Amino acid sequence: MSRLNLDHLALAAARIHAADEVRRDPAVVKAAKRFAEDGAQALRSGGALAREAQSSWRRHSPLAKGTGTDE
């Protein structure tokens, strides 16, 4: 039974080593940096969109134009 545990441990160690090699691969590192930059840009663009939509709503809102009917 001890043999099975050692084999399992060796396999787990090999997988950890392989995962570390993948994590440090230059192409993976470059893609991860690009993904982070793209995500940050998407958040900035989304914020700009929200601000523009809010500003446009204020400009076009019937209440802003004073055309609302108060009865």
> Following DSSP, what letter does each residue of 5-46 receive, concatenated?
HHHHHHHHHHHHHHHHHHHH-HHHHHHHHHHHHHHHHHHHHH
Structure tokens at 42: 């998407």
| Residues 27/21, Cβ–Cβ less than 8 Å | no
Task: Tell me the pLDDT tens digit for each residue of 10-60.
Answer: 999 999 999 999 999 999 999 999 999 999 999 999 999 999 999 999 999
Task: Report the C-alpha gap between 2 and 45 in whole angstroms.
Answer: 57
Task: Tell me the pLDDT tens digit for each residue of 49-68.
Answer: 999 999 999 999 988 766 55
pTM above 0.85, yes or no: no
